[in-house]
Amino acid sequence: MAARKPKVIVTRKLPDSVETRMRELFDTELNVSDEPMGRKALIEAVGQCDVLASTITDKIDAGLIEKAGERLKLIANFGAGVDHIDVAAANARGIVVTNTPGVLTEDTADLTLALMMATLRRMVEGAAAVQAGEFTGWAPTWMLGRRITGKRLGIIGMGRIGAAVARRAKAFGLQIHYHNRKPVSSRVSDELEATYWDSLDQMLARVDIVSIHTPATPATFHLLSARRLKLLQPHAIVINTARGSIIDEQALTELLADGKISGAGLDVFEHEPRINPKLLKMPNVVLLPHMASATVEARVDMGEKVIINIKTWMDGHRPPDRVLPQML
């Protein structure tokens, strides 16, 4: 007799190839409408499945985990960030949590460089001017941006993505500075010719571009606080493709409006999907809809990692991408 397939509930629409393979391997219930699950639907889901294949739009807090049925043994997250999951509460209930690290690195790094270029060179503002019929011909002093080559880039969080951004930035002629819990290896530091700052405050006061690549944890909430944002030079720009909660968005908005920070390129927001209305009106800000990992290749790779984590768990082994509370 064939072993019982685990009941897997997928909370959002995934790439067709991923959903098809999940249906082949598991007893899978798909979200055909792709509407985010509300609280009631999530409670119902965790009460009847063995595996919840979640995404960032699902708030899986201690209260929800408390309502989980005895069957739920794995939360296989589609995404690298797990700040929407109470990993400690899950761990206490014997529920394994996994994520999909690594496969988002190159795409996120690409978009980060694109945001730097777009913000420094006023690309979105220029495109809007053309579409509005405001372009009347070349002029020596119109739509002037800033050169990227020669600028000092301050990276907050030199993990996989931070290092990938640094490699791209070095090719563009930027000088690499970074703040991390500890210095990277001498091999990586030598390759990138990177300057390490154990003091985030000191680094912020000296760089032209700040790029955030640290996970969202209680320790990184408002890491770029109002006080720290005020340390930036007036010509500096802020780039965020990590999580919105790492920046005090209200303080950033006020400093941008007052001209105390030159610009910002944001792919994530503190109260996502809501965005500060003042930010929407600012010409010196480039706003994107949380699309750093939005490539066909990345989303398929993410789905394949979810499948591997579920299959490994199903076979009685430790999933390769398990997340533990002490890792956060």
Whether 272 is a known active-site residue: answer yes
Mutual angle of helices 296-314 and 16-25, in 10-degree steps? 10
Of 29, 191, 254, 272, which is the active-site residue?
272
Hey, what are 163's tokens? 């290092």
Hey, what are 149's tokens? 């080559």
**Distance (Å, whole) CA 245 – CA 58:** 17
Whether 317 is a known active-site residue: answer no
Query: Which long-range contacts does 285-293 make (Cβ < 8 Å, 24+ apart)?
Result: 285/119, 285/256, 286/115, 286/118, 286/119, 286/123, 286/124, 288/111, 288/115, 291/111, 291/267, 292/104, 292/107, 292/108, 292/111, 292/112, 292/241, 292/267, 293/79, 293/104, 293/107, 293/108
Q: What does the buried/exposed string (b/e) look like for 121-141 if buried means 16 or more CB atoms within 10 Å of the residue's CB?
A: bbbbbbeebeeeeeeeeeeee
Of 179, 228, 243, 299, which is the active-site residue?
243
**Distance (Å, whole) CA 10 – CA 33:** 12
Whether 290 is a known active-site residue: answer yes
Can you give the length of the chain in residues?
328
SS3 73: coil
**Distance (Å, whole) CA 325 – CA 328:** 6
Of 152, 160, 290, 322, which is the active-site residue?
290
Nearest to 227 by CA among 260, 196, 259, 197: 260
Please give the DSSP secondary-structure letter assigned to residue 164: H
**Distance (Å, whole) CA 132 – CA 157:** 39
User: Position 260: which residue type?
Assistant: K
DSSP element (H, E) containing 51? strand 51-53
- Please list the active-site residues: 243, 272, 290
